[in-house]
A and B are shown apart, each in its own frame.
Chain A
């Protein structure tokens, strides 16, 4: 086993191109657990956590788009300016692990691990984020929903690195909520992000209840037909129905963390609660 600490993006790409099987190490909060427990013995590790190009972000006012480098940590994402621009992402960030974990864990790492329980991922799905990938052969940008192909499965090609994620900055309500066994330091049993886009569309994406992050097209069109944007209101019976529709879009399983039935119930509650937060008046 060897460990290489890349100082620049180009250096990392050269190392990955030479040995595409290398394990990419960012914050280490997933990878080191596997190494500590002896579940993984990579022949070569390429550490990308200190590459300056990956630790930056930029905002394009013209397109109202935020581009966040893969190496930005969840600790940073909790705070301004992210809290102001993509509050759902900041809320999700605040539920990730503990302060120690958030100081290390990166957005790019969450996307690369691509666990259905990844807290940032429902936000990326609801906001229809673009994942920017780069290799020595060039770069490409794909929709997050195309990038995540299954539980911990991605469309990343050998030799490719996640460079950044782009998100639209919307002016209306958005939020993230999850259910776990306690408030802190917990992997989600069910999670959801609800965002209202700038043309009044209501979007909801579910985590931990399917092989990938799931959008709920039926519940979304239903919500659009029943909410009142002017008054920020929705009838209680419609909020209940929205929860039921979101729950029926979930495809949960029983596993060591929870049961399918509980997860489906949790989604019903979370979806209703999020819609109520977005449209608090009756």
Chain B
């Protein structure tokens, strides 16, 4: 239990002190405005668009729907924490290689969702990909290349197993 206006969040393997912040701020707001982690995007702020998706204790969650101060003691992974700069994950590389990125706004959320999907279902059907990514809205690509990128990663990973 903690009632303080100061609290500590565990983000991307590092402890971050959040101070002088309004206690009602969403995790998305705190990530972007207090911690400078602007990879997670804010658009709808009601869980509809998925562009703020992060992993909390390994679960894919919309960070806009998390009260930041209630996430104390949980492990938050954002797009910045998914891989070191300059060493993209296989999912990130596939998004680049197969043209799944256009304006890029939805990309961080989709990368997080694609990682969560492939953890849960390593060899998804196209229908499963569409259903699992249904919480992430992309207004550019029409989704075809995003689905292809996920399929390519799935096949490549299966080949390595």
Contacts and interface: CB of A to CB of B under 8 A. Distances in A.
Interface of A: 1-7, 11, 25, 27-29, 31-33, 35-37, 41-42, 45, 47, 49, 75, 97-101, 103-104, 183-185
Contacts of B135: 97-101, 184-185
A184 B64 contact: no
Interface string B69-81: 1101100000000
B96 to A, nearest CB: 24
A3 B70 contact: yes
A6 B132 CA distance: 31
B72 A35 contact: no
B90 interface: no
A104 B61 contact: yes
Contact of B113 (A25, A99, A101, A104): A99
Contacts of B136: 98
A182 to B, nearest CB: 9
Interface in B1-51: 1-3, 22-24, 26, 45-48, 50
Nearest to A3: B69
Nearest to B73: A5
A99 B132 contact: yes
A3 B134 contact: no
User: Looking at chain B, what size class is its interface with the partner chain?
Assistant: 20 to 34
A103 B60 contact: yes
B66 interface: yes
Q: Report the 8 A-B pairs with minimum CB-CB distance, sorted nearest first.
A: A98-B135, A184-B134, A3-B69, A47-B70, A32-B65, A103-B59, A36-B45, A33-B46
A101 B62 contact: yes
Interface in B68-125: 69-70, 72-73, 113, 116-117
A97 B47 contact: yes
A100 B67 contact: no
Nearest to A4: B1
A185 B134 contact: yes
Contacts of A33: 45-47, 65
Given A35-B24, A99-B134, A185-B48, A47 B3 contact: no
Given A32-B65, A100-B60, A104-B65, 6 more contacts: A3-B24, A25-B70, A28-B66, A35-B26, A47-B70, A100-B135
9 contacts: A5-B72, A11-B1, A29-B62, A32-B65, A37-B45, A99-B116, A99-B135, A100-B53, A183-B134
Contacts of B134: 98-99, 183-185
Nearest to A7: B1
A149 to B, nearest CB: 26
B23 A32 contact: no
B43 to A, nearest CB: 12
Nearest to B22: A1
A32 B3 CA distance: 19
Contacts of A184: 131, 134-135
Nearest to A184: B134
Quick one: which of B53, B60, B131 has the most chain A CB within 10 A?
Answer: B60
Nearest to A15: B1
